Amino acid sequence: MSEHELTCGIEIHQQLDTTKLFCSCRSELVESDEKTFLRRLRPTASEMGEMDRAALLESQKRLFFRYQAPPGVSCLVESDEEPPHVADVEATDTVLTFATMLNARIVDEIHFMRKLVIDGSNTSGFQRTALIAMDGHLDLNGRKIGIQSICLEEDAARKVDAGDGEITYRLDRLGIPLIEIATGPDMHTPEEVKEVALRLGTLLRATKRVKRGIGSIREDLNISIPGGSRIEIKGVQELRLLPLYVENEVKRQRMLLRIRDILSERNVAEVGYEPIDVTDIFKDCPSKVIKGALKDKGKVIAVKLPGFAGVLNGDGGSLRFGSELAGRARTRGVKGIFHSDELPAYGIEQPYVDALNERLSMQDGDAFAICAAPKRKAMEALELVVVRANEGLVGVPEETRDPLPDGSSRYSRPLPGAARMYPETDVPPVRVDEERLKKIEDNLPELPDEVIERLVSQYKVNDQQAAQLVRGGKDELFEMLAKGSDMPSVAATTLANTFPEMERDGLNVDKIDDDGLLSAFRLLSEGRFAKEALPTLLREMCSGVTAAEAIEKLGLSAMDSDEALSVVRGIVSERRDFVIEKGMAAIGPLMGPVMAELRGKVDGKEANALLAKCIKELIP
């Protein structure tokens, strides 16, 4: 059996469109920062009943969590001032429905657990979660993708601010039900990852009980390559970027393996942590970062990295170990580090580099990293730099990474160990009996293939477009647009063609939300502009303007027929001889100049009719 170039599993978290999981608050995000209170969380005793003093100190360093408790979308349950109510039946049924759709084995009795999380994102200090089903599968292009588990859990509070010793969370998101689906490590190409995610998204939407829009679905990727390690990229919100994250992570792991081989070939030994205070060298350095740090009574600390020259930033930028080091350093609250492969630059000129080289007794092939910050922070950051450098001798360290909007990712923390879970004794177990399952089986939602057939027969769109709409999760939006405007074919073309084209052209299509698109279609059906102008209008809307503003900006206002007729008549009379010579055959050649004048103002069909009319007027 040949080893795969890449192994990937995904975990999808999708918000359900019901009330909250353990109370009847609305599941909505709001803009309200009133009603706050302060809390602390303490780690609880270990299984052995002992308190880990180090963990305790760590938790106390973080000091306070401030919570905003907006009315209507949070109550005493979210504030951890009242025990949770029974799990929402609709949310539970949605998960049972989804589990049935994926042929997963449903447990006979659902037991909610408390998964310890003490970063403040849950007021209780734990996330409530229940395993509902296991061992399902998904058929994708003839391949079976395993579904390891399907869980029902509560979403966390959202972080709105982080200050010195205090993190602020808003409780509106806390408790929104989430379905969590974990696939097996069964995907082996970036495109396959996207396809599985799309397919799961489509099936989820088929339940009609999931929230839509950015942030309502979040994906975690687990990626490894042969010789590499399991890396988790947590919280991807943009489905279309999934393949890019996978590709970039594969590249990153390959690069790290290459760096390991280079270092091993050079016989680079484990680096010792020997920080040196080099502040005096930089007394008059014009570098902004260094000047700023020194002004705040910081220090410049250096560590030597023997044998690391050229891998921090080398081979035409294909080796970028420096950014790995910087990523680790940043977790200690410093802005970053400078390393020898990138200097002189950033206001640190050659004389400073020379002075550093001398102070650190640099030999050929050695590298250094410096950090300018308050002394303790800088020392801690560089200690981590050394740790990370030594990990580079071994290969790829397991870690959790944050996705960045450009498709790359950034170090966030080490991969968490097994979660500590214990029973949520405040929530009674939920029996899943035959009767309930039977009812769910009898009411399974319309499957994607069925929706495709229906779109074709009901709206007369072609098979390919219908399939594209369903696969892309746009079927519901399509139906809304089609029904609202009574222009199903325009709606289908817009979603199935125009949008992908705009995306290909690098336009920011996220600026057009569902409501924006609906309003564009409403204006279209009101005759405010011609349907030919829709793509232009949408392109304009990608800059963040509303449909109405785009109409104004583009000067697209529909022309009435009289005005249009006189424009066409003018064009025809200018070409009088040609028209008389060609007769009705002049329509084809003249459509170009006519549309150049009327595009966006008059429907193409109507323009064609007007042209025919004017030609007829001329020819005998």
Partner 1 sequence: MSYSQTLSDRLDSLQAANGDVLRVTSGDRTYEGTLMPHHDFSDPDVLVLKLKSGYNVGIRIDGADGIELVQRPEAPIRKQKEKTVAGDKPRIAIIGTGGTIASFVDYRTGAVHPALSTDALVSQVPELGDLAEIDSKVLFSIFSENMAPQHWQELALAVANELNKGAEAVLIPHGTDTMGYTAAALSFMLGEIPRPVILVGAQRSSDRPSSDAASNLLAAARFAIEQDVAEVCVLMHDSPSDDSFAVHFGTRVRKMHTSRRDAFHSINVAPLANISPGGVAVNHPHRRKGDVKVEARIGLEKDVVLLQYFPGMRPWHFERAISGSHGAVVAGSGLGHVNKEMVEFISKAIYGGTPVVMTSQCLNGATNLGVYDTGRDLLKAGVITVDDMLPETAYVKLMWSLANSDDVAKTMRTPIANEMSERREMHV
Which residues contact partner 1 by CB under 8 A? 37-51, 53, 56, 64, 76, 79-83, 105, 107-111, 113-116, 118, 123-126, 129-131, 149, 151, 418-423, 425, 428-429, 431
Of 370, 397, 367, residue with least CA distance to 382? 370
Report yes or no: 554 and 547 within 8 Å, Cβ to Cβ: no
- Minimum Å gap between C-beta 184 and partner 1 is 14
Residues 6+ apart with CB under 8 A from 614: 565, 568, 569, 571, 572
- Minimum Å gap between C-beta 422 and partner 1 is 5
Query: Residue 605, exposed/middle/buried by CB under 10 A (0-12, 13-18, 19+)?
Result: exposed
Tokens standing for 449? 């293939």
Q: Which is nearer to partner 1, 45 or 269 (CB)?
A: 45
Q: Which is nearer to partner 1, 69 or 309 (CB)?
A: 69
The SS3 of residue 38 is: strand
Q: Which is nearer to partner 1, 151 or 537 (CB)?
A: 151
- Minimum Å gap between C-beta 444 and partner 1 is 21
β-bridge mates for residue 471, sequence order: none
Q: In what order do the strands lie in the sheet with 36-39?
A: 36-39, 64-68, 166-170, 158-163
- Please provide the DSSP assignment of 455-510 as one string: HHHHH---HHHHHHHHHTT-HHHHHHHHHHHS-HHHHHHIIIIIHHHHHHTT--GG
- Minimum Å gap between C-beta 132 and partner 1 is 9
Q: Which is nearer to partner 1, 41 or 598 (CB)?
A: 41
β-bridge mates for residue 168, sequence order: 66, 161
- Minimum Å gap between C-beta 356 and partner 1 is 45
Q: Which is nearer to partner 1, 98 or 529 (CB)?
A: 98
Q: Which is nearer to partner 1, 133 or 567 (CB)?
A: 133
Q: Which is nearer to partner 1, 79 or 536 (CB)?
A: 79
- Minimum Å gap between C-beta 104 and partner 1 is 11
Of 570, 614, 560, 562, residue with least CA distance to 596? 570
Q: Which is nearer to partner 1, 127 or 313 (CB)?
A: 127
567's enclosing H/E stretch is helix 561-574
- Minimum Å gap between C-beta 376 and partner 1 is 24
CA distances from 418 to 402, 415, 421 (A): 20, 10, 9
Q: Which is nearer to partner 1, 142 or 163 (CB)?
A: 163
- Minimum Å gap between C-beta 148 and partner 1 is 9
Measured between alpha carbons, how far is 566 from 563 in angstroms, rounded to an integer?
Answer: 5
- Minimum Å gap between C-beta 139 and partner 1 is 19
Peptide bond into 70 cis (omega under 30): no
